[in-house]
C-alpha cells in the first residue's frame, strides 16, 4: 500500500510533467491527395507536420527532437 507521501509525490510529478510539456495548437489542416498535414504552433513557432509528427508533438516531444523546420510565412 502506498503511503500518503508517496502518493502526493507521484501526483506532483505528474503535474510537473504536464506543465513541462509543450502546448501544441493546430492552426490549419489540409487533406490533399490522400495526405493529411497540419500547421501547428509550438512555443510561438509554426510548423507543417504530418499525422505521425503531430501525434509525437502531442505526446510531448519537442520540434528540435523531431528536427522540424519552422514553416515559411504564408
Identify the pLDDT of residue 1.
60
pLDDT digits (tens, 9 = 90+) for 8-46: 888 888 777 766 667 899 999 999 999 999 999 998 899
Distance from C-alpha of 1 to C-alpha of 43, rounded to nearest angstrom: 40
Domain positions in the chain? 22-74
Question: Angle CA(53)–CA(58)–CA(40) in degrees, nearest 5?
Answer: 65
Question: pTM for the complete prediction?
Answer: 0.69
Identify the pLDDT of residue 74.
58
Amino acid at each position: 500500500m502506498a503511503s500518503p507521501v508517496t502518493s502526493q509525490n507521484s501526483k506532483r510529478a505528474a503535474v510537473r510533467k504536464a506543465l513541462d510539456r509543450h502546448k501544441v495548437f493546430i492552426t490549419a489542416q489540409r487533406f490533399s491527395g490522400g495526405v493529411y498535414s497540419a500547421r501547428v504552433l509550438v512555443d510561438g513557432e509554426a510548423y507543417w507536420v504530418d499525422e505521425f509528427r503531430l501525434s509525437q508533438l502531442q505526446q510531448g516531444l519537442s520540434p528540435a527532437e523531431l528536427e522540424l523546420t519552422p514553416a515559411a510565412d504564408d
